[in-house]
Structure 1
């Protein structure tokens, strides 16, 4: 069924998929955001062996083959303009974290950010700098109007990352997500163009 919009889409179809998935610089620390590669499977899988990452992420790969299948799905997300997924990588190419824009709504110009950082890279501002970089790219270069994220109200580290990266706390969504230990209230943060 074809939908007819009364307003033009914020981001025209093909704006993302019409070019290769970009590598984005991250200010400070020699980091970049780059597409996931098959050789990243071991590092990706190791993230989901970390207790803190598992605490906040219920969807987890269980083998390197499954991780590589996720990477293939990430490439398809880019091609279909459903999502953008990056490894946060050091200068030597080693992946130390994940950054993603999911649930892309090109009509309204809204995306949802998600991230994690491996234990060895925590405490150095990696996540907040990567989140700031993806927000700047989405809002200023691609033309999204809003990038939002949510996290458990119990995840104080993620709240700090969002705030440090310029994503304002907008409110609490009660009982909005299921974690391994039950339902959690979720904080909603966002950056909008012009912030």
Structure 2
């Protein structure tokens, strides 16, 4: 299986497939509380069967060309992931997302991994607009959107209930011409 280097620190981006369900479940257990502050995934992935089902759903999306999931490994351990939650090549729109366990925070791993995924979506699949939907309370994820050169399109006020409270959702995006221009001029953060 392939791995894409994320830099000199040995971090790698790899496909996260159903056969990795045990490793994925262990990762989710390590980061459950931290990840669950803003992301409902830990409430869905609770045991080996649900871990396998989640990864299988993304394997099915990959086969249908409607989404992708790639894990982030640091020092040989799965510590997070980047996803294309949705991928619509007909309309040219995708929604990217991420999560990371606490042991890997502050190393730029999500930003580096998301760049690889967005490059692939724009250059290989012809995606014109990549969106980033994030809880307005999730400062670190908003910082990633900024580092990726995304613009904040707006706030969907109290648009989703999570753990008994309604939350605001910010929508950020980058358009393919802007993504390419930033790469060509060397101004991409």
SS at match of 1:55: coil
Query: Which residue of the partner structure matches residue 187 of structure 1?
Result: 170
Once residues 182 and 63 of structure 1 are traced to their aligned partners in structure 2, the CA distance between those partners, rounded to angstroms, is: 25
What is the root-mean-square deviation in Å for CA atoms of aligned residues? 2.0
Superposed, 1:1-195 pairs within 5 Å as 23-36=3-16, 37-47=20-30, 49-50=32-33, 52-59=34-41, 60-90=44-74, 92=76, 94-195=77-178
Contact 1:25–1:133, Cα closer than 8 Å, also in 2: no
Once residues 65 and 72 of structure 2 are traced to their aligned partners in structure 1, the CA distance between those partners, rounded to angstroms, is: 20
Alpha-carbon offset, residue 53 of structure 1: 1.1
State the TM-score, normalized to the length of structure 2: 0.82
Q: 5+ residue gaps in structure 1?
A: 1-20
Once residues 96 and 65 of structure 2 are traced to their aligned partners in structure 1, the CA distance between those partners, rounded to angstroms, is: 15
Deviations 1:53-79 (A, max 9, x none): 112122421112211221122111101
The structure carrying a bigger helix percent of its residues is: 2
Q: Count how many residue pairs are aligned between Structure 1 and Structure 2.
A: 173
Deviations 1:53-109 (A, max 9, x none): 1121224211122112211221111011221011111363x2110110022212111
Deviations 1:147-195 (A, max 9, x none): 1011111111111111112222222122222211411111111111121
SS at match of 1:40: helix
Once residues 121 and 107 of structure 2 are traced to their aligned partners in structure 1, the CA distance between those partners, rounded to angstroms, is: 23
Contact 2:10–2:75, Cα closer than 8 Å, also in 1: yes
Specify whether residues 166 and 47 from structure 1 end up closer, same or farther in structure 2 by C-alpha distance, changes over 3 A only: farther
Q: 5+ residue gaps in structure 2?
A: 179-189
Query: Which residue of the partner structure matches residue 11 of structure 1?
Result: none
Once residues 50 and 56 of structure 2 are traced to their aligned partners in structure 1, the CA distance between those partners, rounded to angstroms, is: 10
Contact 1:45–1:64, Cα closer than 8 Å, also in 2: no
Alpha-carbon offset, residue 28 of structure 1: 4.7
